[in-house]
Amino acid sequence: GPAKQTIRSVAGAIATVVARERARQAVAESEARFRRLAETTGVIPWELDLETFRFVYVGPQALQVLGYPIAAWYEAGFWEEHIHPDDRAQAIAYCHEQMQTRDAYEFEYRMIAAGGRHVWIRDFVTVTRGVTGPVRLAGFLVDVSIERAAAAALREASEAKGEFLANTRSARRSTPSWV
C-alpha cells in the first residue's frame, strides 16, 4: 500500500544521494591525484585571460623550473618579458597568429630563468573561444632543455665524425705507398 510506496520512495532517494556522494568523492579523488601528479613534474600548467593577456593560473612547479615566485607570473607582461630576446618577437607573433585560427597548437622558444640561464620550453596551447573569438588560452609549459642539449650534442658528434673520416681519407691519399 501507501506505506510501502513511501518506503520505496525514501529508499530510492537515499540511494540516489549515496550514489551522487560516491561519484563526487571519486571525482575529488581523481582531481587530487591529477593535481599531485601535475605538481610534482617539470610540466607547468597555466591559464591566461586574453582580455588582459595575464595569467590567471600558473602551477607551483613554475618555481622549480624557472625560479620565479608564482606571484610574479601574474604581473602584466611577465611571459613576454621572460622570453629570450632572440625568440621573443617570433614566439609572441606565432602565439597571436595561431590562436586566431587553431583550437590547439604547440611551439618552442627559450625563456630566461631567474638565475639567467636559458630554458628551452615547448608550449602546448589550447584555445577557448567565445562569441567574439578567443577568450582564454590554457596549456602546459614543458622544459625540453635536456632534449635540446642531447640533440645538439648528437649533431656535434656527427659533424666531428664526418670531419674525422674526411681527414682520415685525406691522410690515406697523401701517405706515400712505400710507407
The residue to which cell 625540453 is assigned: 144
pTM over 0.85: no
Per-residue model confidence (pLDDT) at position 118: 95
Mean pLDDT score of the chain:
86
The residue to which cell 640533440 is assigned: 151
The residue that leads in pLDDT, 104 or 28, is 104
Work out the percent of the chain whose per-residue pLDDT is above 70.
Answer: 78
Q: Is the pLDDT assigned to residue 80 strictly greater than 60?
A: yes
Consecutive H or E run containing 130: strand 118-130
Work out the percent of the chain whose per-residue pLDDT is above 90.
Answer: 56
Compute the CA torsion angle 127, 129, 132, 136 (nearest 10 deg).
-60
Per-residue model confidence (pLDDT) at position 42: 76
When pLDDT is cut at 50, 70 and 90, the band that residue 16 belongs to is confident
Q: What mean pLDDT comes out for the span 24-51?
A: 77
Q: Is the pLDDT assigned to residue 8 strictly greater than 90?
A: no
Map residue 6 onto helix, strand or coil: helix
Q: Which three cell numbers stand for residue 97?
A: 597568429
DSSP-assigned letter for residue 107: E
User: Which letter, b or e, does each residue of 142-170 get, where b requires 16 or more Cβ atoms within 10 Å of its Cβ?
Assistant: bbbbeebeeeeeeeeeeeeeeeeeeeeee
User: Which letter, b or e, does each residue of 27-54 get, where b requires 16 or more Cβ atoms within 10 Å of its Cβ?
Assistant: eeeeeeeeeeeeeebebbbbebebeeee
Q: What mean pLDDT comes out for the span 86-110?
A: 97
φ, ψ for residue 137, nearest 5 deg = -115, 145
Question: For 102-158, what is each residue's pLDDT tens digit?
Answer: 999 999 999 999 999 999 999 999 999 999 999 999 999 999 987 766 666 676 777
